Amino acid sequence: MIARLAGITTALAAIFGIGALAGGVFHPSAPGGDAKVAMRHGTEAMAMSVRGLAVADEGLRIVVANPQLRLDRTEQLRFRIVDDEGRTVRDFDVEHTKRMHLIVARRDLTGFQHLHPTMAADGTWSAPLRLAEAGSYRVFADFSHDGEAMTLASDVRVDGAADLLPLPEPAAEAASDGGYSVRMDEPAARAGEETKIRFTVLKHGKPVQVQPYLGANGHLVALREGDLAFLHVHPMEGTTEFESTFPTVGHYRLFLQFKHAGRVHTAAFTQEVI
């Protein structure tokens, strides 16, 4: 196992450069689930999804108009998607009932938000964003264009002293906003192997039936500690069970979103991958 992991690490470092490990979590139906990176160990090759590590990919680029935001103020975050000639892209496919998903998280994997911006006639996307803590935040534009699923990422900054927090220890249960608790049931997650993760939402200790949200029973965003490799995952139809493959060992922060009693709630878990 040690030799196998060493081989994977060497291949990744060669692809992305020193200090940057390629990765992500993938599901073929999710935005960003098609990009592949080959990782070789001897004659073995694994195709893994890698998203959210770059500002540009496949001839498209994200341009954030106002990367400096004020602390604890609601402001309109504005951005465009442009092609390699600088032309603003205006045609996007509908994915999970929306043409654009915007994910925001601070570099220590706190302050998670999942927004759905609106596009103006000139192709500028905007969404109200309030960041209550100082620091550097990663913003992910998750979309499909011409049938190609993509995730582009950039950074925004909130000035002030940033009190960065360590990643919480892995736990099988987490509290969400709104007074819910969520249990995560999954086998030991191993790098390069498909993992099935099932969530149970409880209110006052009793399971509840979640409501459809954006065409599914739940949404799962996974961000890897360190480089914030990204995936927006959706469950198997009619369930809160997700299938994903973690391409490298390490810790990932999982953000589950579900809807109940007409409101969307979020619970976060730390996942260790061995």
pLDDT, position 49: 57
pLDDT score of 42 more than 90? no
Q: What tens digit of pLDDT does each residue of 75-131 get?
A: 999 999 999 999 999 999 998 899 999 999 999 999 999 999 999 999 999 999 999
To which H or E segment does residue 32 belong?
none
More confident residue, 34 or 200: 200
Q: What tens digit of pLDDT does each residue of 161-217 get?
A: 999 999 999 999 999 988 999 999 977 899 988 889 999 999 999 999 999 998 999
Distances (CA, A) of 19 to 13, 15, 146, 205: 7, 11, 33, 44
Return the SS3 of 184.
Answer: strand
Q: Under CATH, what is the fold of the domain 56-158?
A: Immunoglobulin-like (2.60.40)
% of residues, the chain, pLDDT over 70 = 82
Using a 10 angstrom Cβ sphere, with 0-12 exposed, 13-18 middle and 19 or more buried, the burial of residue 223 is buried
Mean pLDDT of 133-149: 96
- pTM confidence score: 0.82
pLDDT band at 73 (very low <50, low <70, confident <90, very high): very high
pLDDT score of 234 more than 90? no
pLDDT, position 187: 72
Residues 195 and 243 sit within 8 Å (Cβ to Cβ): yes
Spatial distance between the Cα atoms of 138 and 60, rounded to a whole number of angstroms? 18
Residues 107 and 163 sit within 8 Å (Cβ to Cβ): no
- Residue extents of the structural domains in the chain: 2-48, 56-158, 173-273
pLDDT score of 53 more than 50? yes
Q: Under CATH, what is the fold of the domain 173-273?
A: Immunoglobulin-like (2.60.40)
Mean pLDDT of 45-65: 80
Q: What average pLDDT does the structure give for the chain? A: 84
Of 47-51, 181-185, 251-255, the range with the lowest mean pLDDT is 47-51
